[in-house]
Structure 1
């Protein structure tokens, strides 16, 4: 049996290239319909330029237009001119159908609606594909901060919005913490925390299972985070981040003008938030595990393994660039006697108090570590001996004052002995720097305790205090 040939495309001619005709041309652009000719007596009509771009024959005289119309299946007249309709009916062959008036408008409306539906489906599929790409990327990354930025970029693309942020719930303090932001000025990050308020916008968002759409925050009765108002935010769609029934935070998408985000975008943001919350929680637990691997469990300072890694790393960097690197070693004086008298729990509490004091004294660029039972180290990049010695002395005085500051926790006066050494003045490599600071520490111990000793001054009493 002979194979049937596919039907040929519908051949259409268009009279009238104004707004309606131009819209019809646009709506039919991706269809299989073959447009054989376009006619409009106005050369500046918008549809004329569109026809030229697509290589469609253009006529400005109806008589010249009628010749190619004889090969068309359908002539659509959107001019609204009865005279044009009469001339087409009189001159065209009976097999050529003419649509004018209401019929032409109906065709245009059906074509426009079909195209709009196709565009909406394409947009929805593109948004869902973007969420899928995010899911793949999140499964591959091990960096929590990179994940925050990826989630935020995807959310802004899905909602076609200029700004947004990710805020996490700190369960310990009951505060929201800004984790990532895009599209805001630099000072936006200066307000990193805010407390949940009963009846406030943040509380309202967290209590909902689906995204919250706010077309204009100035019309709200609930208290609004002043950070949003200060940044000029007017409209918001916010999706709660929940992982296994636990509130993780909120994904915010913002605009600086009043706007009602479309329901489809909000729905897809809800899907994005569901997956993102699980992925972010997984990465948070992974990062917590990593942190625990390099952290002393009692004091929350770096542990000895992490300290030795950083010491080698910073020593190599200091030698490569010819920069100073100082190391302070310190030891609680008579800690064994304290432990024996008051018990291990009191001893652990003292170690925790000392660790908190060290954290309060050192800079953010320094690394504080617990390297033994009552032994601690402070690694100070880009620091000369004199500055390190001043830090050591301040720490010695702070520790000596603990018994007065925390009488209910510190059972007797406690002190520390400290040693200071600096690369390249006192050592050339990591092992020698550690040994030099340690030698200075034990010189301080032998010299009577509760003092600071700098490595070259091993025979001296140390830094005056």
Structure 2
């Protein structure tokens, strides 16, 4: 330690210049610089750290205590000597007692009182990029002005490399983020299945951002229901989790429609633990259609201070994309539903009936099961329409459709076929059981009066034909044809049967 020989000083800086140009690996470069500094100074208690402005943290490239290299990832600044050096942007050299210095400036004292301490900011274009610290616990006045000048010169050189490394990392990160956003956007446009959308989105996030648990919640009534959870770290959150509005971070975001960023969940009053988890940071972003909150994109990390302004912006973009995808899914289902529903009676329409019949026949063939089909026709419906008009006739159609839907089993399917005809599919059902259900329907229709203004009470009746696969038919067309024949026979026999 002490005064550096001018020749040695210049030779060392020359070697450091070569080191800086020898590799793009910052950790490798810093380790070589540390060895060079160790030739002239006692680096038993020494550190070189990068300063992260947004998070106000230091991440260490080299950190030694009593000659032993320690593995310390990062620390949060807390009004200590390093933060003071970063704040004043000047070298700070303490020659006698660090605790007295800290007390004088209202700084947090270090655990072990150093006799000498030297802190040198790593600065590039007036921005602090990091800090070099060295301390001696035995000797006062351990560092000279020449030592300070030597480290300051090295710090300025490191500042250039750190800035270049940051720019390269930021560019790589931006490229990575754009790739992820493009992948998510592609997945959202390719898939209309909402479960597939949830899965592809959450998997893409956990692929590009490590140590994250990503979940999608959708609001259904008074509850916010977990639809998908993709984990990047161990957790035991219930897969069938239901959250009440206003409960926990997710429930609060769902209720208020505003994002919550908790870089330390222990300091957030809304945070609740569901199951066993090592979550330390959490961000919850509302999924919105116009101004209505329809769900929450929730992201958790097992590290403190996991989310900065850039990552928050990225996750907001993903939440917007997910909201649009969900809205498109709703619109698609609405259009699909409208194309399969009879406008007047709100029963399934003929197109929907044919799709269902084909599907149920495939199941019946595959599992060697019975399938019955009934055709229900309103007796004298054409005569009623001709006499009272279509508007009154529509009321009869709506009434019959409601009775049919109320009185079939959950597994059965009813649709309007044409005019005054309806069809009912009875999956895995033979003729005797289907006839029993239809008999009950006939009685209900016959006994439930329909009041029509200007006409009065009416008690419409229906005639029904039935056929069963594979007893009466092998194909869908044959089944429909034979059911219609059975219907015509019922009408010939006097209707209402």
Q: TM-score range by the shorter chain?
A: 0.5 to 0.7
The structure-2 alpha-carbon separation of the partners of 1:216 and 1:419, relative to structure 1 and needing over 3 Å to count, comes to: farther
Task: Tell me whether 348-357 or 133-142 shows the greater mean CA deviation.
Answer: 348-357
The structure-2 alpha-carbon separation of the partners of 1:396 and 1:156, relative to structure 1 and needing over 3 Å to count, comes to: farther
The superposition leaves residues 267-294 of structure 1 with CA deviations (integer Å, 9 ceiling, x where unpaired) of 3332223233333333433333333333
The structure-2 alpha-carbon separation of the partners of 1:156 and 1:344, relative to structure 1 and needing over 3 Å to count, comes to: farther
Matched with 2:19 is: 9
Q: Does 1:354 align with 2:354?
A: no
Matched with 2:433 is: 387
CA contact under 8 A between 2:225 and 2:241: conserved in structure 1?
no
Q: Does 1:180 align with 2:201?
A: no
3-state SS of paired residue (1:371) = strand
The structure-2 alpha-carbon separation of the partners of 1:354 and 1:423, relative to structure 1 and needing over 3 Å to count, comes to: same
How far the C-alpha of 1:213 sits from its partner, in A, is 4.4
The structure-2 alpha-carbon separation of the partners of 1:334 and 1:131, relative to structure 1 and needing over 3 Å to count, comes to: same
CA contact under 8 A between 2:253 and 2:285: conserved in structure 1?
no
Q: Distance in 2 between matches of 1:340 and 1:249?
A: 49
Match of 1:146 among 189, 196, 208: 196
Q: Distance in 2 between matches of 1:19 and 1:346?
A: 95
The superposition leaves residues 165-217 of structure 1 with CA deviations (integer Å, 9 ceiling, x where unpaired) of 34268xxxx8778593437635547x9x989xxxx9477534x5xx3447589
Matched with 1:301 is: 347
- Equivalent residue runs for 1:135-284 within 5 Å: 135-151=185-201, 153=203, 162=213, 164-167=215-218, 180-182=227-229, 185=238, 187-188=240-241, 201=252, 204-206=255-257, 211-213=259-261, 219=269, 237-242=284-289, 245=290, 247=292, 249-253=294-298, 262=307, 264=309, 265-284=311-330
CA contact under 8 A between 2:469 and 2:479: conserved in structure 1?
yes
- Equivalent residue runs for 1:346-425 within 5 Å: 346-403=392-449, 411-425=457-471
Q: Distance in 1 between matches of 2:439 and 2:64?
A: 92
How far the C-alpha of 1:371 sits from its partner, in A, is 1.2
Specify every segment of 5 or more residues in structure 1 that has no aligned partner in the other structure, as ranges. Answer: 1-6, 30-37, 48-75, 452-465
How far the C-alpha of 1:423 sits from its partner, in A, is 1.0
Q: Distance in 1 between matches of 2:366 and 2:434?
A: 21
How far the C-alpha of 1:438 sits from its partner, in A, is 1.9
3-state SS of paired residue (1:162) = strand
TM-score, length of structure 2 as denominator length: 0.58
Matched with 1:72 is: none
Specify every segment of 5 or more residues in structure 2 that has no aligned partner in the other structure, as ranges. Answer: 1-16, 21-31, 51-58, 72-131, 231-236
What RMSD, in angstroms, separates the aligned Cα atoms of the two structures?
5.3
The superposition leaves residues 87-135 of structure 1 with CA deviations (integer Å, 9 ceiling, x where unpaired) of x99xxxx99x964xx9999999999999789878766764554233111
Match of 2:180 among 130, 147, 169: 130
Matched with 1:439 is: 485
CA contact under 8 A between 1:403 and 1:410: conserved in structure 2?
no
- Equivalent residue runs for 1:17-28 within 5 Å: none
The superposition leaves residues 431-455 of structure 1 with CA deviations (integer Å, 9 ceiling, x where unpaired) of 222222222222332333333xxxx
CA contact under 8 A between 1:22 and 1:46: conserved in structure 2?
no
The superposition leaves residues 317-372 of structure 1 with CA deviations (integer Å, 9 ceiling, x where unpaired) of 42243222221211122223443454322322332333333333334543322111
Q: Distance in 2 between matches of 1:118 and 1:19?
A: 31
The superposition leaves residues 126-175 of structure 1 with CA deviations (integer Å, 9 ceiling, x where unpaired) of 45542331111112223344334444555677696536334268xxxx87
CA contact under 8 A between 2:45 and 2:136: conserved in structure 1?
no
CA contact under 8 A between 2:285 and 2:298: conserved in structure 1?
yes
The structure-2 alpha-carbon separation of the partners of 1:282 and 1:311, relative to structure 1 and needing over 3 Å to count, comes to: same
How far the C-alpha of 1:377 sits from its partner, in A, is 1.2
Match of 2:370 among 324, 330, 333: 324
The structure-2 alpha-carbon separation of the partners of 1:248 and 1:418, relative to structure 1 and needing over 3 Å to count, comes to: farther
Q: Distance in 2 between matches of 1:23 and 1:79?
A: 15
Q: Distance in 2 between matches of 1:339 and 1:194?
A: 51
The structure-2 alpha-carbon separation of the partners of 1:332 and 1:146, relative to structure 1 and needing over 3 Å to count, comes to: farther
